[in-house]
A and B are shown apart, each in its own frame.
Chain A
Amino acid sequence: MMNDSLYLNLSESIKQRKEVFLLTITDCDNHELIGRKVLLNPMGEIYSTSPFPPSLQQMIINYSEKLIRKKRSGTFTFSWNGSMVECFAEHFPVPIHLIVAGAGHVCEPVAMIGKSLGFYVTVIDDRKEFANRDRFPHVDEVVCQSFLHFFQKAELTAQTYILLLTRGHKYDVLSLQELLNRKEKPAYIGMIGSRRRISGVFEQLKNDFPNESFDHFFTPVGLDIGAQTPAEIAISIMAEILKVKNQASGVSLSTKFHKFTRMGFREGAILWNNFT
């Protein structure tokens, strides 16, 4: 089982946005070893309070290499000093950082869903009546600052997802100007708005960024599910973010299934099982 120091180290890694693997010996001829845990970082460094014998530790590191590369959890079995060892390597990825700029109506359900999806959620607005803890008690960070200053300094990585839900197109322009000037690129930038507002924003940005195609922005934001209310819009937006994160198609799963069932139930089911 986990001890306090191992747990602190694990949660601290995630808080510092560093991915980590938790390794557990789940089976072994030597019963003493079953249940023992260590942490492993992608550089192959081990943290533990009760280290394994060095030769066992080295084998575990070697066998974890493939999982580190693929960034996924898995279980491997090997033979060590003539005894069988099974080890479960559990991947703790860096959580997605969702930055929501504009703390209005849509921001509320977006922040709530973001939290329940396990994202690290930051809400930013330049008005303290909106950007405050009373309105967003559950998010990780509420920042009251100008959009311009925030996006000059915000950490941008492949795990950063940015939503511009501001109250006016001039704030979108200011935010995007800063984001486009940055060398680091986030995974996703979504911007809410009508066709008119969006073309207005791009019109203004064109002067400063004549070579920018704006193709990589998700705007209008969200999947086409006919969303109208703030809650519906939030689901449409978060579904799009999951689609991007999981590199999925975003179409109804039944569409694919119908194709398989048309081939006949049994044959179609076999293909379907291979597919999933």
Chain B
Amino acid sequence: MEQLHLIKRTMEIRAAGENAALATIIRTKGSTPRKTGSKMIIFPSGRIEGTIGGGCGEAEVIEKAIEVIQSSNPAKHIVDLTKGLFYEDGGICGGIMEVYIEIVLERGI
């Protein structure tokens, strides 16, 4: 089970004293490359594990996740894939997805 595997990885990353962010798709509308619950881990270097669909939308989330790591505040990001049909940079799926980004190291909940 991929969801559980990535959560397990966040536990390992935290146990190793590293920091990273976990991005999860929490809502989708229309046609999106991946569905609700899909996850991706983002390291401060920009390296990723897992995917929320690739392309520009994923790149936006990576950028946002690095901000989350720096600020330690969870955030949400909306990826809009409805505009890109005639651009070269992909994103032609036609849907919108909402991504929740949280850090792996936390104030200890």
Contacts and interface: CB of A to CB of B under 8 A. Distances in A.
B103 A92 contact: no
A276 B2 contact: no
Report, as a range, how many residues of chain B touch the other chain. Answer: 20 to 34
A124 interface: no
B38 to A, nearest CB: 10
Contacts of B10: 1-2
A90 B37 contact: yes
A90 B1 contact: no
A118 B31 contact: no
B51 interface: no
Interface in B73-109: 73-74, 76, 94, 98, 100, 102-106, 108-109
A90 B39 CA distance: 11
Nearest to A96: B1
Interface in B26-79: 26-27, 30-31, 36-37, 73-74, 76
Task: Name B's interface SS.
Answer: mixed
Contact of B98 (A31, A49, A75, A92): A75
B26 A26 contact: yes
B16 interface: no
Contacts of B102: 1, 24, 35
A24 B4 contact: no
Nearest to A4: B11
Interface residues of A, number: 30
Contacts of B105: 1
A211 interface: no
A14 B27 CA distance: 24
B98 to A, nearest CB: 7
Contact of A34 (B30, B37, B74): B74
A90 B98 contact: no
Given A35-B109, A88-B100, A10 B7 contact: yes
Given A73-B37, A74-B36, A26 B76 contact: yes
Contact of A95 (B1, B8, B31): B1
B106 A1 contact: yes
A72 B100 CA distance: 18
A273 interface: yes
Interface in B1-25: 1-4, 7-8, 10-11, 14, 22, 24
Contacts of A178: none
Interface of B: 1-4, 7-8, 10-11, 14, 22, 24, 26-27, 30-31, 36-37, 73-74, 76, 94, 98, 100, 102-106, 108-109
Given A1-B22, A24-B100, 9 more contacts: A2-B10, A3-B109, A14-B1, A34-B74, A73-B36, A75-B27, A88-B100, A92-B1, A92-B3
